[in-house]
Homo-oligomer: A and B are copies of this chain.
Amino acid sequence: MARKDGSDRRPTISDLAREAGVSRSTASRVISGNGYVASSVKVRVRAAADRIGYVPDAVARSLRHRATRAVGVLISDLRNPFYADVAAAVEQRLRSRGYHMILANSDGMADEEEAAATLFEASRVAGVVLAPVSGLATRRLIDAGVAVVEVDRQLAPGECDAVLVENEAGAFAATSHLLELGHRRIGLLLGELGWMTATERLAGYRAALERFGLPFDESLVPRSSFSPAEAARVTGELLDKRPDVSAIFATSNVLAEGAIAEIQRRGRRIMTDLSLIAFDDVPWMRLMQPPISAVAQPTIGLGSVAAELLLDRLDGTAGAEPVVRRLETTLILRGSTAPAGR
């Protein structure tokens, strides 16, 4: 006796038809709004639906239509504000167009990503938005005929739509800013080795150095991973090995967090002793003293555009060719970047 009225099953369209004294087809036409129905009958059926609490079964509908209104969204880490923003934007856009979101976390692991792809395929989602880690999931989904949009990273170029960030330009701007302030030994904290974002941000960093006629020094670019703790450790190593660094460019909010923690732990002061700039602006950076300069990413845009591209493809509004959109960053100068000390 799960339901309020004591019955243990939900009313179906047959119940509705019986209650309203019409055939199931007529009831269906009223509920779905397709086909001709006398308005008096419409009223009667709607009243009956309210009375018995009829809610059409989306599962049966999906089976019949061979299509769902669900979209799979796969990201690396919901607890990272970057992905949370993207996911929130996707959800909002989907919702406004009558779709909903199945959200899965890959934790940056390829096998979790594949498991999610299988889930999405099995669920017959209308499409998928994902921040890919391995490329296999995207390939699998595309092969299965699922519309896919890659976000933030592109691992299947030419095969599906993608929304990316102007990583190189953003990193170029940040690095140039430091160079213009007179910094010459700039530590680069690069997470996610092998990721497109890391590669492109590194390219931007190098391009800026080159522009200033400076050589690239590998010892200024330690390898790190995602966690703040790792970032802190690596920052410590950098500071030990290269005590001459006067500025650090942390290429993600997580790396910035770790770097700040380590800098503070050593009693060094940001801005005064060491300039710091982050790629990916998050709200707390504004609160630090000094506030942290950052390359703001268009997180909301990333999510909205991804959802748009997907929905356009589902509509058939999109052309045959995959579309790739690059969204611009914004350099936000705050107090953490200051002229290089004498």
Q: Which residues of A contact B (CB under 8 A)?
A: 2-4, 8-10, 53, 55-60, 62-63, 66, 68, 70, 77-79, 81, 84-85, 87-88, 91-92, 95, 100-105, 118-119, 121-124, 142-145, 228, 257, 260-261, 264, 282-284, 286-289
A selection of 8 A-B contacts at a CB cut-off of 8 Å is A4-B145, A9-B66, A58-B122, A78-B88, A79-B85, A81-B84, A91-B105, A228-B283
Q: Which residue of B lies closest to A70 (CB)?
A: B102
Q: Of the candidates B9, B85, B95, B283, which one forms a contact with A104 in the assembled complex, judged by CB atoms under 8 Å apart?
A: B95
Chain B positions within 8 Å of A284 at CB level: 257, 282, 284, 287
Q: Of the candidates B85, B87, B124, which one forms a contact with A57 in the assembled complex, judged by CB atoms under 8 Å apart?
A: B124
Give A10 Cβ to nearest chain B Cβ, in Å. 7
Chain B positions within 8 Å of A53 at CB level: 143-144
Further contacts, 4 of them, CB under 8 A, given A4-B144, A81-B84? A57-B63, A70-B102, A102-B102, A102-B103
Q: How many protomers of this protein does the assembly include?
A: 2
| In the complex with contacts A10-B145, A143-B4, A91-B79 CB distance below 8 A | no
Q: CA–CA, A177 to B159, complex, Å?
A: 59
| In the complex with contacts A88-B78, A145-B2, A287-B284, A55-B102 CB distance below 8 A | no
Chain B positions within 8 Å of A92 at CB level: 105
- Contact between B78 and A84, CB atoms less than 8 A apart: yes
Q: Which residue of B lies closest to A270 (CB)?
A: B289
- Contact between A84 and B95, CB atoms less than 8 A apart: no
- Contact between B288 and A122, CB atoms less than 8 A apart: no
- Contact between B286 and A261, CB atoms less than 8 A apart: yes
| In the complex with contacts A53-B143, A59-B59, A257-B287, A84-B79 CB distance below 8 A | yes
Chain B positions within 8 Å of A118 at CB level: 55
6 closest cross-chain pairs (CB), A and B: A2-B145, A284-B284, A4-B143, A3-B145, A78-B88, A58-B122
Chain B positions within 8 Å of A264 at CB level: 287, 289
Give A232 Cβ to nearest chain B Cβ, in Å. 11
